[in-house]
Chain A
């Protein structure tokens, strides 16, 4: 089992006044991973990133980078480099000088600087702008300067703070591919911080979902989506339908629940369920029909269509159950006229296989 490149052990960050930004977090990040810290604003992900970079220090805990505890080492002495959210490209220097900066201040020889800067600019495709000043460049170009500037230092870990948030939609897609390609080409560990689950799901190999200073779940993107272990994660990642249910009985992994408005369901759970659970179902796992389905063993409910949102290749149908709870169903528009044909007030039946439901205990 390889040694993690970054090992965060029991790190907390507290501020005077009682605020705790990071609460006893431990996580191991392996070499060559594309790791994401994902969560809503205020969850502590940026604070944690900054503590790894050295721009902030923990109130307690250890941060091992490459095997050495560097929790209190100044940032200029750590083998990490950061790409800031605002890029922080020095406005009074040219692109080439910006990229060379980190090498100059650490005393690298002039000809080696020239060579490495040339390589770095090639890598981010900015060689033709080497003598430009940042104020004459677009946001996307400045971001690439920031990337080149950090990568030329050959850090063990590259930290990126909300790398795609300032870009427009098209640029964002391009950058997403760019970053994944770059990470594999350069072969170093990337740690990104983001509040955008699309960013995290599409780029990262593993994601730590954070809430209120703690990691709620650490898993691959697919695992997080299909097997969230809490309401928070299920709701934060993608869309989900949540139903409250009382536990009737549990024998080992078999759990019998009575869900509000849905009646009895036979489900499975790896955990001990207690008295109440939440049942989660992803909208694409649900099926819509105009007539009551005849198949046995399916979970089913009547509903009245409240709204249909058209998104081109799919539509989102929101329908209210008899008890008032709204249910969201994703429908592929695979018919010739690309339309669900549903409108507000229509009566429909929603069904799904019980095995497509998740039992959430927290």
Chain B
């Protein structure tokens, strides 16, 4: 690796486009978001303006986000994201494990089958899920044949959680597969040889050594879940709002952009806290390799 000064011309040529894009179309907009979060709608001639703002009026928007309704939505969002992540982990780990122990030639195919839905448009998948779960959807039609139902599945909390798991499961399986695959199987053999049961081997050897993959998978599911609004919008009802829905509403019907900005920033803060926790954990321990 060379020092940048060794070839300054090449360095600047390569660095400039990406850096400009990042600064102008990412960092500056974020800066503006931050600025707006400390601002309010301008009051002109006694009327609250629709499009003008008075900037840097204070932390009123952040204080508003501390009100109990909003806090409860934040908590609900964190809780549902945690549930969805846990479900993805409980289902995803055994599946990743299984794929790793399939014969060499079957593995790419099995992986492809799991990952393919992930590559299909989120909207399409959500719409497909919605139509299957609807009162006249496939599920209710089938159980109708045995005389049950119809069950009202949409608009409920389980529907949203199921939707989250449905969408994010492949995100969990991929990093898990990658880590488990790289695990030297002779560690497991050594453990059994030394007298441990399968369960002991899993708890004392497999789990600690695959922890980096678990952490990566958890991050890849938990963080996007936090910002989700589509799933709760389509599959849930008005009682199933996540923080994403609240933010979206501020930029839509409620038309309160400063408040929406503040909420977005709180969400980003939550995200960064989670990432910092992960980074701190990684520095403390060593697993099968850095992920």
Residues of A near any B CB (own CB < 8 A): 53-55, 74-76, 80-82, 84, 86, 88, 90-92, 101-102, 105-106, 135, 146, 149-150, 153
Contacts and interface: CB of A to CB of B under 8 A. Distances in A.
A90 B196 contact: no
Contacts, number: 67
A53 B195 CA distance: 11
A84 B187 CA distance: 9
Given A81-B194, A92-B208, A92-B286, 11 more contacts: A74-B192, A76-B194, A80-B193, A82-B190, A86-B186, A101-B194, A105-B194, A105-B195, A135-B286, A150-B194, A153-B194
Contact of A81 (B184, B193, B204, B208): B193
A90 B201 CA distance: 12
Nearest to A92: B208
Interface of B: 184, 186-187, 189-197, 200, 204-205, 208-209, 285-288
Q: Please provide the 9 A-B residue pairs with the shortest distance between their CB atoms, ordered closest to farther.
A: A102-B194, A88-B190, A105-B196, A88-B186, A106-B195, A75-B192, A76-B195, A82-B193, A92-B208
Contacts of A86: 184, 186
B25 to A, nearest CB: 43
Contact of B193 (A54, A91, A106, A135): A54
A313 B53 CA distance: 95
9 contacts: A55-B193, A76-B196, A80-B193, A81-B193, A84-B189, A90-B205, A92-B209, A102-B194, A106-B195
A146 B288 CA distance: 19
B194 A149 contact: yes
Contacts of B195: 76, 102, 105-106, 153
A105 B193 CA distance: 11
Nearest to B208: A92
B184 A105 contact: no
Given A102-B194, A149-B194, A91 B189 contact: no
Contacts of B287: 92
A288 to B, nearest CB: 49
| Among B189, B195, B286: residue with most chain A CB under 10 A | B195
Nearest to A135: B286
Given A86-B184, A92-B286, A105-B204, A76 B209 contact: no
Contacts of B184: 86, 88
Contact of B187 (A53, A54, A88, A102): A88
| Among A80, A88, A153: residue with most chain B CB under 10 A | A88
A92 B192 CA distance: 17
Contacts of B186: 84, 86, 88
Nearest to A53: B193
A20 B171 CA distance: 41
B189 A88 contact: yes
A76 B189 contact: no
B123 to A, nearest CB: 43
A53 B193 CA distance: 7
Contacts of B197: 76, 105
Given A86-B184, A88-B186, A76 B286 contact: no
A35 B135 CA distance: 72
Contacts of B205: 90
Contacts of B193: 53-55, 75-76, 80-82, 150
Contact of B189 (A55, A135, A149, A150): A55
A334 to B, nearest CB: 48
B282 to A, nearest CB: 14
